Each structure stands twice: as C-alpha cells, then as structure tokens.
Amino acid sequence: MPEKFFAIIFPENFYDLLFAGYLAFKGKRVAVIGNKALLNSFAKFLLLNPYRSLLVCDHLGLSLKPEKNFYLPDFQIITSQQRLDFFYDRLRRDFALERELGEEGKNFSGFLDKLVELGRQIEEKLKTEDLFRKIFRSSWWEKFGFGSKVLSFYQSSLSNLVQNSGLKKELMELVLSGLRIFSPYFKESDSAFSSALLFRFLLSASQAEASTEDSELSILEIISANGRLIEEEPEAMMVDGKRIASLSFSLKKEISAEWFFISPRKSFELLIEKDKETRRAKELAGRFPRASLYLHSYFFKASSWPEPMAERALWIEPKRKEIKEWLLVSSPLSENLKELSVSYFRRGESKPLEDEEIFQVLKGLFPWLNQRLERKAEPVISHQYLKFAPSQLTHPELKTSFLNLLLLPSELAPFFGLSGIFKLAEVLAGEPSS
C-alpha cells in the first residue's frame, strides 16, 4: 500500500517550502520532494532574511534570528548614485534615509510607513473575508476564488499612492525594484493592494535577543517532524480517472496524497506514456513559464566585500533593458571566504546568463574586480506560470480537469504575499484564520 500524506509538494522556491512547513505546523502530514542542500538555498532568493521576519517566524513558531550588528541594515537598495539602508525599526530607517536623501528621505520613510500600515490592514481583511470559497464545492473558482470585495477594498494604483505622497519619480523606481524581486511584471499603474502586502513582509524584520546557543528550528525540521523530506526523484505519476493517485519510486515504493502541488512541466514529465496522450496531459505540456528566477553562487574573498554593504542588497542597473534588479546575498563560509549569491528575473522562455555576463554586472558594483569569480554550483532556476496582473486576481490553478493537481503555492506570492500562502494552507487544512 502507498504511504499516505495530506499533500505532496515539489517546492521551487522559499514560498513553497514555507507553505509546506505551515501545513506541517498545522498538523497535516506533508511530503516534500527535493534535495536538502537545494531547499536550504531558497532563502538566498529573498531580499529579507526570512528568519528575521516576524511574519514567517510567528506563523511557524520559530525563534527570530538575532541581529548580527546594530548598525548593519536588514537589506540595502543600491544604485550608481545611492546606497539606501533599510532597518527593521523606524528610527534607524528614518535616520539612514534622511542621511542619504535629506528632506526627501523623510517623505520616503513616511510613505513606507503608510504602505506597511496599509499592508497590515489588508492582511487583517484577508483573515476575515471569505476569499477562498468552501474547498469542497464543484469548480476551482468556487474552491479557491477571490471575492470582488477584496478588489474594492483598495483600488488605488501604486503610482497614485506615490504621487499623493509627493515623492520624486526616482523613488518610485526604488519602490518598484523591491517589488520586482517578487515578479518582473510589476509596474507603477498596478494596484497598491499587492505592493502593500509585499512591503509589509520586506519591513517585517524585528529584534531578537542574542543567544549563545543556536536553538533555531528550520522549516525542514518542522516538515520532517510531521511528514517526510524525500530526496529521491520519483519515477512516475499514477493517474486514477481525473485525479492524480500516487507517485512511484524505485524499489516499488509509492506515496499518495489528497493534494499534489507541482509545476506543469514536472507533472507532465512524471506521467506514464499512456497518460501523456490524454487531453488533460497535453494541457499540462502546453503551460510554459511566464518568468524565471535564476540564482548563481560564487566564492568571494571576504576582504573584497565593502564594509558598509549589508549581507543582502538589491543592486539596480537602470541602463540595462531587460534585467535591472540584481539581488546579492553574501554568506560567510570561513574567516576569509564568502559565498556570493546573485539572482535575477527574466521574462518568458529564457536561459541563465553566462558567468562572464554576471561578472560584467558585478563590476558595476565592485569596479576593482579583475577576474571572474569561481563558481560554487550550477545555477538554480525557479519558474512562475501566472503573469502578475493584480486587476485580474486568480488562484494557482492548472486549468486541467485533474481535480487534485495545483500549481505551486508560490504563485500566490506576487498577488497576496505571505498572507495568501498562509491563508491557502489554513483553508486547505480546514483551519479557521486566527
């Protein structure tokens, strides 16, 4: 008999892992399929360290990671003219922004406060509105549809918010750069709804007392305590009528679940040959990425890292047509060596950049670099299948008649931030919002 789970998840980025961990925290038995080293690297796709975030740690019952240095910001946004420091609390953030931008920094900080407060209000609304209709109704729209009340709750565009705050256009670009780490489709005419939720996450870091012992649990430990991490690749996906029935592995092992969260390409690859010829399978095969997020990892001398630079920074290159935002995350490997992770979005069907292209980008930030960095690992790729369009909010549905096959929960992140991912897990688990 197959080993049974509530959900089987093939995570492609941190938000999928967060969803799996939250389901496990809610007492649901989940199976996560993926390499442990790869899964641990997902946090490097994020501008904010997720273990410094109240939104993440409170939901998972984890301890916040302590601040390493009172004067080191949680993240930075860097351009050729400016280096803006973003701290978890308002006093330090105000000081840093006013130091760099003068009087305009005070306006910018006030705008961010309003955006975060709007995000808090919307998050409360998500808890009370019946956004995800009862899960056992017949159609997917009724199962996971978003009500029109949400759209009418805050219809103003992001550009209207910026204009009403009297900010300069240059600062609008800084706001958009932080949002494009969630989706490259963000533009200033989009609704402020998603922008507020996402900035609420970006500015949700908080203090934590320093500890001599590293007692922090990880998401993988939460999953393993109430489910299983499977590092073996399955060989086939078995279909029973309109439902995915189970996954088979070598040595005749099988696992089954009520729900399968997986990318269209992966699900099509795993179907056995006769099932690939069905109309439902061909619909899966025809679903291609709208955008892809790439992560490159390199070795970097610690002495080459500028002292004022935070461990997480968004480097903006306005001259480039396709890729303007580059997320840089540095991690200490030893006293003299760091790992430098470089990630970026590309739209449509695309390939990762070559090392030489990455090197030329880094030279814009580190002009003293005289040779390419040593690659640590092959690029990691995460795909998005839903185009970001906040005026047409949809749910992560595959649009086939497989009844228990869904897109990965991370598809919700650009629409509803972490709040939507947590809400989906709660409804799926039959838990009321708290």
Measured torsion, CA atoms of residues 69, 294, 362, 178, in degrees rounded to the nearest 10: -60
How far is it, in rounded angstroms, from Cα 284 to Cα 63? 40
CB of 381 closer than 8 Å to CB of 292: yes
Q: What is the per-residue pLDDT for 143?
A: 43
Beta-bridge partners for 337: 301
Q: What is the per-residue pLDDT for 426?
A: 87
Which pTM value belongs to this model?
0.90
Give the mean pLDDT per block of 10 residues along the chain (434 residues).
Answer: 94 96 95 93 94 92 87 92 91 94 92 92 74 38 40 68 85 92 89 90 81 62 94 94 93 92 93 91 88 95 85 89 92 92 92 94 89 91 78 58 89 87 86 51
The residue with tokens 């935070």 is 310
CB of 223 closer than 8 Å to CB of 24: yes
Tokens of 161: 């918010």
How far is it, in rounded angstroms, from Cα 219 to Cα 226? 11
> Which amino acid appears at position 203 of this protein?
L
Inter-CA distances, 323 with 56, 162, 276, Å: 28, 23, 36
DSSP state of 205: B
Domains of the chain plus CATH, in order, are 291-384 (3.30.70)
